[in-house]
Amino acid sequence: MKHLTKQTIDQIDLHGKRVLIRVDFNVPLDETCEITDDSRIRAALPTINRAIDEDAIVILCSHLGRPKGTFRKEFSLAPVARRLQRLLNKPVQFTEDCIGPAVEAVVKKAEPGDVILLENLRFHAEEEQNDEQFSAQLAALADVYINEAFGTAHRSHASTVGITKYVKVAAAGFLMKREVESLEGTVENPVRPFVAILGGAKVSGKIGVIENLGKKVDKVIIGGGMAFTFIKAMGYEIGKSLVEEEMLDFAKRIQAQALDQKIKFYLPVDCVVASSLDADAETKIVPIQEIPNGWYGLDIGPASVTLFREAVQNAKTILWNGPMGLFERDAFSQGTFQLAHAVANAYAKTIVGGGDTALAVYRAGESERMTFISTGGGAALQLLEGKHMPGLAALPDRI
């Protein structure tokens, strides 16, 4: 198991301190601002509870959505405060801003063991600008800073990078530690056979992951919209399915490299196609070579599910990032959901990259049976590419 080289919360004295924890409470909300999935809140509970148990004054800060530097009620963290209160079974004080005299007054009055949630950091444009003054104002609220927001560790923001210059003590939380160790550890030292499943819309968004994992896996399974770029690169017609013309040469090269390195490379053999993108469009299942002109490939078909299920059956490590189709629509959800069942049933360590894949596994009812589900979509991708993570790099090294 790879160990995080950064200082972590369990190495720090939190007793009686003001502890500012940067969490990732960027949770999905419906039209009525009700939380539809609170797994990101639950994931931070061990770190929050550790600070409460140590009689710290716990100050939580997060972003939600993309309010672009202005107050927008639909992006308020108020619903999160209510849910967190239920999960902790204790009061959570919610402030109407994240910096300023009113917030400072709340923190000053707080008693050991109290929990405060600050309003959305991104209501201030300075957060995403990694502004020095904003960073310093956040830091002034705390004696100790804990970064628990893996989902934003790939961003250079005030609450992830700038703040570390102004606090005396900084460390990674339990979730941050687990995310990095699970993802990096899986890629660097997998139990074999190691299978990577890559889906989602575009090849271009996964170039780094494909190249980095391509050297380390035993099998690669490609699905989702990105599969059609590989299929077109092989010379097949793909109708109106998603394709990145500028990625065709890359797709050919990657496939050739995999064959050279004796890596088994799987593409869909059939797909579910629709006559249009309308919700009530006609659909049918066709072999990959027979996608009709003007039709859209929107999911892998049953023969592909069988092929992919067999490919993961003997795996000891499975890394999955990206759905197999437009799973948000019932007509195109089966490929992704059936694969989720196959991955859950494999006798393997199963790591699910965050974002859409995490949502798909949750909707398939298989989230409890995965070894680890990342809370960070873009951050997980960047880590799997082996790229620099500013939010992680800003933390001090383990002594």
Q: How far apart, in whole angstroms, are the C-alpha atoms of residue 144 and residue 52?
A: 14
What is the layout of strands, in order, in the sheet containing 372-373? 264-266, 219-222, 194-198, 317-321, 349-352, 372-373
Token pair 């790939």 in the structure block, residue: 154
Active site residues per annotation: 40, 202, 355, 378
Token pair 């530097």 in the structure block, residue: 69
Specify the pLDDT at position 205.
82
Specify the pLDDT at position 2.
61
In the chain, CATH 3.40.50.1260 sits at 9-179, 190-384
Q: What is the homologous superfamily of the domain 9-179 according to CATH?
A: Phosphoglycerate kinase, N-terminal domain (3.40.50.1260)
Per-residue pLDDT of the chain (399 residues; tens, 9 = 90+): 467 899 999 999 999 999 999 999 999 888 898 998 898 999 999 999 999 999 999 999 999 999 999 999 999 999 999 999 999 999 999 999 999 999 999 999 999 999 999 999 999 999 999 999 999 999 999 999 999 999 999 999 999 999 999 999 999 999 999 999 988 888 888 899 999 999 998 888 888 888 888 778 999 999 999 999 999 999 999 999 999 999 999 999 999 988 888 999 999 999 999 999 998 899 999 999 999 999 999 999 999 999 999 999 999 999 999 999 999 999 999 999 999 999 999 999 999 987 889 989 999 999 999 999 998 888 888 888 888 899 999 999 987
The domain made up of 190-384 has a fold known as Rossmann fold (3.40.50)
Q: Per the structure block, which two tokens stand in for 15?
A: 């007793």
| Single-letter amino acid, residue 80 | V
Q: Categorise residue 107: left if φ over 0, alpha if ψ from -120 to 50, beta otherwise.
A: alpha
Specify the pLDDT at position 384.
84
Q: Determine the Cα angle at 285 with ends 226 and 239, to 5°.
A: 50
| Single-letter amino acid, residue 231 | I
End-to-end alpha carbon distance in the chain: 19
